[in-house]
């Protein structure tokens, strides 16, 4: 009779030890709350990383940021916005002229065409104003779900949880989502985090990923979130990936 009681007590102790709990003993909502508390502590302020002056310049900057760093976007947009600060001015430029301003950005020719088409549609169909509805935004050239959500969140203050490949990666690492695409991950994150926190969490995820949780050569066991939020299998798998380049380098010497 003693042994069963000991096992029951041990199970109860493990379930109640939230602070040092393993991923399996953490209910998803508890894990999300703990992550949110840590991110709020680390990033009480969440400045928008893309430099802009209004909804239009933010929209343009977000379109340019696809497959390009925010740093690079911020380097090319001052000259572009000096020449075309409004939809009317942007629509008057040719795609080639726009491309000349953004040539250092990835996929510049395609983005230049999208920006010109976007500007024309804003002038012709929206009175030169950026619409504040999701459906109207995604109908603009070059604007997908993530871009629309960023504009809704950061330009209009509407609750949205934009998910790019970086947030998609972190959510998988931390066991918050098993979604195979950013859209599926967005659905999961919107479900487990309070709506009032979506806008700042989007940016907090980005800042934490850049500063503490990079995609490559990251030690999950030492990470302030991965160390307890990731599964043991995930930690082991990424540790193996991390060690492979070192092994190859040693073998080539």
Report pLDDT digits (tens) over 200-221. Answer: 999 999 999 999 999 999 999 9
Domain termination residue (choose one: 154, 180, 215): 154
Residue 9 Rama label (left phi>0; alpha psi -120 to 50; beta): alpha
Whether residue 178 is found in the same domain as residue 126: no
Whether residue 176 is found in the same domain as residue 133: no
Whether residue 64 is found in the same domain as residue 133: yes
240 is catalytic: no
Indicate if the alpha-carbon torsion angle 148, 168, 22, 246 is positive or negative. Answer: negative
* Residue 20 forms part of a structural domain: no
pLDDT of residue 85: 98
pLDDT of residue 244: 60
Whether residue 105 is found in the same domain as residue 229: no
Q: In the block, which residue shows the tokens 């779900």?
A: 145
Whether residue 86 is found in the same domain as residue 141: yes
pLDDT of residue 136: 98
HEC states along 180-205? Answer: CCHHHHHHHHHHHCCHHHHHHHHHHH
Q: Count Cβ atoms below 10 Å from residue 128 Cβ, excluding itself.
A: 16
Q: Give the residues of the chain that fall short of pLDDT 50.
A: 1-25, 247-252
Could you tell me if 30 and 38 are in contact, meaning their C-beta atoms sit under 8 angstroms apart? no
Q: Could you read off the pLDDT of 234-253 as tens digits, one per residue?
A: 999 898 877 665 544 444 45
Give the active site residue among 71, 146, 219, 240: 146
pLDDT of residue 1: 43
Give the active site residue among 111, 121, 164, 188: 164
Query: What is the spatial distance between Cα 202 and Cα 153, in angstroms, rounded to a whole number?
Result: 9
pLDDT of residue 24: 43
pTM for the structure as a whole: 0.83
- How many domains, the chain? 2
Which has the closest alpha carbon to 59: 30, 84, 41?
84
92 is catalytic: no
Domain that holds residue 96: 55-154
pLDDT of residue 195: 98
């Amino acid at each position: 009779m003693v042994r069963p009681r000991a096992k029951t007590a041990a199970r109860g102790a493990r379930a109640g030890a939230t602070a040092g709990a393993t991923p399996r003993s953490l209910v998803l909502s508890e894990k999300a709350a703990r992550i949110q508390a840590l991110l709020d502590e680390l990033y009480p302020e969440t400045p928008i990383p893309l430099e802009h002056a209004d909804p239009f310049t933010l929209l343009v900057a977000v379109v340019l940021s696809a497959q390009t760093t925010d740093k690079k976007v911020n380097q090319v947009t001052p000259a572009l916005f000096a020449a075309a600060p409004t939809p009317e001015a942007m629509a008057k430029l040719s795609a080639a002229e726009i491309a000349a301003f953004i040539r250092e950005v990835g996929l510049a020719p395609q983005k230049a065409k999208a920006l010109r088409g976007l500007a024309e549609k804003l002038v012709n169909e929206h009175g030169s104003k950026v619409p504040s509805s999701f459906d109207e935004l995604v109908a603009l050239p070059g604007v997908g779900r993530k871009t629309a959500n960023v504009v809704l969140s950061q330009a209009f203050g509407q609750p949205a949880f934009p998910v790019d490949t970086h947030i998609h990666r972190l959510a998988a690492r931390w066991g918050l989502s098993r979604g195979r695409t950013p859209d599926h991950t967005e659905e999961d994150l919107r479900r487990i985090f309070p709506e009032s926190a979506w806008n700042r969490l989007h940016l907090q995820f980005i800042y934490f990923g850049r500063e503490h949780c990079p995609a490559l050569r990251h030690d999950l066991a030492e990470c302030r979130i991965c160390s307890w939020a990731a599964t043991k299998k995930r930690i082991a798998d990424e540790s193996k990936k991390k060690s492979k380049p070192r092994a190859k380098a040693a073998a080539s010497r």
